[in-house]
């Protein structure tokens, strides 16, 4: 996969004094604005501005009405690994019009700071992280750690410290909005939402090189009420990854790729129970990606994935446009196990475009003992990106139906519901 070019490096030069922070005309003057420079932030890309940001946060957090932390345009602020803690007294806007960046690589990271996370928002309610600015994760030196998969022979890796920070993490927070930002080159995941409720993501632009390891665009786990709209993500892993405990997730108008596509999972690792339901992905484009829309589970897990809809998605040279993989494994020595996460009620509708002929356009690889059921295909048209040889879809222990004829034809889905599912009333218990 060709490496994508990164956007131009944000300028770290000092700019003229901006005209001022966002006005509050529409709020009747009730919004207090806290410019981080008033708390001592320099914004030259070198000076440690962590304490200034913490003081601005702590001050804004104590205001009873809505407040804004203002990060001005034309400045680059270097911040150490930090936890911004709530709950706050009122709603809070974190307005980023300049650039935020962490220390440059593991050697510059303070030894007593966590290397698993950079900026964390903890127990925050009614917050908006927004603006026309940028977040530069400076990930290259993390990706080059000897422990990471790289371009050597057989993707060789070496022992050694491997922790790499998630750029932005929201933990146990609610009523969140993230919008308008450009985020690039995170050492690991760009955004991670853990244990959150009511998350609205709008108009994000996330980029990292196609070979950057574990740079998921947006990862959610144990989170519900999620909307991801009108965004562009190109990176070295999943554009969006949906972990266990997620439900009521709506993804719309996403441009994804290069990368690994949009994934539910992986689920059920280390024989764990995993539950995901009511997920919709629609009106999106996936291009030059290893996968399109994917459900991936480990053998030995339990729980269920159900109520999933993938609709009106355009594929461009995608290696696995439609894939269910219940034999997910990162090595060649995973043991066969009988239990599995139950996958059912999956609708694929209006999925069209081209696929990379190294793999079949549709792959339904389901557990030997826990078949996939109620897979529905409607208005599917997938053609080879090169040549005229159309590959047959692959099915293994997958049950479902075709609402319309598909291209290529799918003859391998089984009809009905298997007896093993009918007899096990606890199969889909979550």
DSSP per-residue codes, 264-296: EEEE-GGG-EEEEEEEEEEEEEEESBSEEEEEE
Which residue from 33, 41, 26 is spatially nearest to 80, judged by alpha carbons?
Answer: 41
Q: Percent helix, strand and coil across the chain, each rounded to 5?
A: 10, 45, 45
CB contact at 8 A, 1 and 211: yes
Q: What are phi and psi of 127, to 5 degrees?
A: -130, 145
Which residue from 247, 101, 93, 88 is spatially nearest to 173, judged by alpha carbons?
Answer: 88
Q: Partners of 286 in the beta sheet? A: 256, 315
Element (H, E) at 52: helix 50-61
Which residue from 239, 335, 342 is spatially nearest to 294, judged by alpha carbons?
Answer: 239
Taking the C-alpha atoms of residue 342 and residue 246, their distance in angstroms, rounded to an integer, is 15
What Cα–Cα distance (Å) separates residue 273 from each residue in 224, 328, 342? 17, 15, 10
Tokens 């049950």 locate to 399
Taking the C-alpha atoms of residue 8 and residue 99, their distance in angstroms, rounded to an integer, is 13
Q: What is the maximum span of the chain, computed from C-alpha positions, in angstroms?
A: 72
CB contact at 8 A, 343 and 400: no
Measure the CA angle with vertex 277, ends 272 and 281; round to 5°: 120
Based on the residue annotation, tell me whether 260 is a catalytic residue of this protein: yes
- Cβ-based neighbours of 307, under 8 Å, separated by 6 or more: 277, 278, 279, 345
Q: Which of 190, 219, 260, 277 is catalytic?
A: 260
What Cα–Cα distance (Å) separates residue 317 from each residue in 237, 285, 296, 387? 16, 11, 21, 12
Taking the C-alpha atoms of residue 206 and residue 233, their distance in angstroms, rounded to an integer, is 5
Q: What are phi and psi of 302, to 5 degrees?
A: -145, 180
Which residue from 352, 223, 347 is spatially nearest to 286, judged by alpha carbons?
Answer: 352
Query: Which residues are marked as active site?
Result: 260
């Amino acid at each position: 996969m060709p490496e994508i070019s990164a956007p131009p490096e944000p300028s770290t030069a000092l700019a003229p004094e901006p005209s001022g922070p966002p006005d509050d005309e529409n709020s009747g003057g009730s919004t207090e604005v806290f410019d981080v420079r008033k708390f001592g932030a320099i914004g030259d890309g070198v000076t440690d501005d962590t304490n200034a940001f913490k003081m601005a946060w702590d001050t804004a957090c104590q205001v009873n009405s809505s407040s804004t932390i203002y990060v001005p345009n034309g400045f680059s602020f270097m911040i150490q690994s930090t936890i911004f803690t709530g709950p706050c007294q009122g709603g809070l806007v974190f307005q980023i019009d300049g650039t935020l960046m962490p220390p440059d690589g593991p050697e510059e990271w303070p030894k007593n700071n966590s290397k698993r996370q950079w900026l964390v928002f903890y127990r925050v309610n009614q917050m908006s992280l927004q603006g026309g600015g940028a977040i530069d994760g400076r990930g290259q030196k993390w990706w080059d750690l000897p422990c990471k998969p790289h371009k050597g022979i057989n993707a060789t890796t070496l022992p050694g410290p491997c922790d790499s920070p998630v750029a932005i993490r929201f933990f146990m927070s609610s009523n969140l909005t993230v919008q308008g930002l450009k985020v690039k080159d995170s050492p690991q995941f760009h955004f991670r939402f853990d244990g959150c409720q009511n998350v609205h993501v709008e108009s994000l632009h996330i980029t990292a090189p196609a070979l950057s390891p574990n740079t998921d665009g947006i990862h959610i786990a144990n989170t519900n009420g999620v909307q991801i709209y009108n965004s562009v993500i190109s990176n070295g892993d999943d554009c969006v990854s949906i972990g266990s405990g997620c439900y009521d997730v709506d993804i719309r108008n996403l441009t994804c790729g290069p990368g690994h596509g949009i994934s539910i999972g992986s689920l059920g690792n280390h024989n764990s129970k995993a539950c995901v339901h009511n997920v919709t992905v629609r009106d999106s484009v996936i291009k030059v990606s290893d996968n399109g829309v994917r459900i991936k589970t480990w053998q030995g897990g339990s729980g269920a994935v159900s109520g999933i809809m993938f609709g009106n998605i355009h594929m461009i040279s995608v290696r696995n446009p439609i894939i269910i993989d219940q034999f997910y494994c990162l090595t060649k020595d995973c043991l066969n196990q009988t239990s599995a996460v139950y996958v059912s009620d999956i609708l694929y509708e209006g999925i069209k475009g081209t696929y990379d002929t190294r793999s079949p356009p549709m792959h339904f690889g389901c557990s030997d003992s826990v078949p996939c059921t109620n897979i529905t295909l409607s208005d599917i048209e997938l053609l080879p990106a090169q040549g005229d040889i159309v590959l047959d879809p692959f099915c293994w222990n997958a049950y479902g139906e075709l609402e319309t004829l598909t291209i290529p034809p799918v003859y391998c889905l089984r009809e009905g519901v298997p007896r093993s599912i009918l007899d096990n009333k606890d199969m889909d218990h979550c």
